[in-house]
Every structure is written in C-alpha cells, then in structure tokens.
Amino acid sequence: MRTEIRQPGVANVAPTLFISWDEEVLHCTPSEIHQELYYGEPRIALHCLPDGLSVMPFMMEAGDDEIVAKRLQDILRSKLVREPISPEEAPPPANVAGTWEVHTQYILGKSVHSMNLRQDGNALSGSYRSQYSLTEVKGKVRGQEVKFSVVLGFEANMVEYVYTGLVEGDTMSGTVTLGEYGSAQWTARRVSC
C-alpha cells in the first residue's frame, strides 16, 4: 500500500490523496474498490485510477475523513484474506484484438466511440477515438474479464474512464467509472479483427 499527498496547484484549492497498491498482493483492482465504495453505504465517490484511487477532499465536511478512512480500511483489509488465483488455474485470456464500436449510456445521454485494441497475452494497448479526441488505451484481460482505461476531456477537464466488463465473443459489456462523476453502463461490438 502506498499513499502520496499532492499539494494544490493553480486550479485546485485542496490537497489530493493518492492511494495505490500491488494488485497481486491485495487481490483486487482499483475499479473493484471504487465500485464497493460508490455502491456501498454510505456512498463514497472517489476518483478511480488504473493503479489506485484519489481522494479530493474539497467538498468534505468535518468528520467525513473518518468515515472515508474507515470504509477504505474495512474494504481493503477484507481483500487481504482472498486467495490469489494461481497461473495454472487462470483461464486463458479472451481475444479482444480488433476495432470496436463502444456505446456508453450515461444517466443523461449516450455516446458512441470507437477503439482499436492490440493484445499481447493479457496486456491491452491501442487507441480510443471520441467525438473530440484520439487517446491511448491501456488495460488487461483475465479470462473473460476485461479492464481498460482512457483519459478524455480537455486541459483542466480531463477525466479518466475506467471500463470493466465481460467479453462474449464479439461483444463486451460492463460498467465504466467516471472519476468523481459516478459511473455509466457500456457495451462494445467488434466491427473488425
């Protein structure tokens, strides 16, 4: 477990706490922890990163820090007792290489983007095209489970989208976390290999 406090810059007025860990040691991904915090009680909205979580305390009130710390501690400790999957037991990764059409359904509205994925074993890389930008994709596949992230937005409005879901042939679907903006549902269809 690693933590780092970054002091505010020009646009931010509060320090940000970054929390990261080794997924092989803790047996969970940042997206899994983010989902448990966001959909648990009390609901806690943090920013999900590929390698951890960030806490922006700007809107927190007195005592909120203790609530967030306790929930994080409880969830992360519960993950330590999970047994890791040995490489022999792990299913082979699904093939997700190719060009995909990605549909995202937000609370209000939807988007259609495209991505081109390259796959090397479990590792994913490639490009993601939105209406306004072309950005890098990074991720991984474990069996039928897929996880990848992209950064969308412009200048001070950059948001990391972390997609998690399941692969079924030429389709994928799941949940995408949008940092402090909650989450949305997504589906993707492979249009070429």
pLDDT for residue 40: 82
95-121 exposure pattern, b = at least 16 Cβ within 10 A, e = fewer = ebebebebebeeeeeeeebebebebee
Contacts of 115 (CB under 8 A, 6+ apart): 99, 100, 102, 126, 127, 128, 129, 137, 150, 188
Q: Tens digits of per-residue pLDDT, 37-94?
A: 887 888 888 887 778 888 888 788 999 989 988 998 888 888 776 555 555 566 788 9
Least confident among 58-67, 69-78, 153-162, 179-188: 153-162
Taken in order 105, 117, 34, 27, is the CA torsion positive or negative? positive
Domain ranges of the chain: 2-80, 98-192
pLDDT at 157 over 70: yes
Task: Evaluate whether 171 touches 188 at the Cβ level (below 8 Å).
Answer: yes
pLDDT at 129 over 80: yes
1-26 exposure pattern, b = at least 16 Cβ within 10 A, e = fewer = eeeeeeeeeeeeeeebbbbbbebeeb
Task: Evaluate whether 112 touches 100 at the Cβ level (below 8 Å).
Answer: no
Q: Tens digits of per-residue pLDDT, 92-102?
A: 889 999 999 99
pLDDT for residue 83: 59
* Mean pLDDT of the 122-141 span: 92
pLDDT for residue 105: 96
The rounded radius of gyration (Å) of the Cα atoms in the chain is 17
Q: What is the chain's mean pLDDT, rounded?
A: 86
Q: Does domain 98-192 have CATH number 2.40.128.120?
A: yes
* Mean pLDDT of the 139-156 span: 86
pLDDT for residue 88: 58
Query: Locate tokens 């810059």: which residue?
Result: 9
pLDDT for residue 42: 84
Query: Which H or E run contains 119?
Result: strand 110-120
Against a cut of 0.85, is the pTM above it? no
Least confident among 29-43, 62-76, 175-189: 29-43
Q: What whole-number percentage of the chain has pLDDT above 90?
A: 36
Residue 172, exposed/middle/buried by CB under 10 A (0-12, 13-18, 19+)? buried
At 95, give phi and psi (nearest 5°).
-85, 115
At 111, give phi and psi (nearest 5°).
-140, 155
Tell me which residue of 138, 139, 132 sits closest to 158, measured CA to CA: 132
* Mean pLDDT of the 160-188 span: 91
pLDDT at 36 over 70: yes
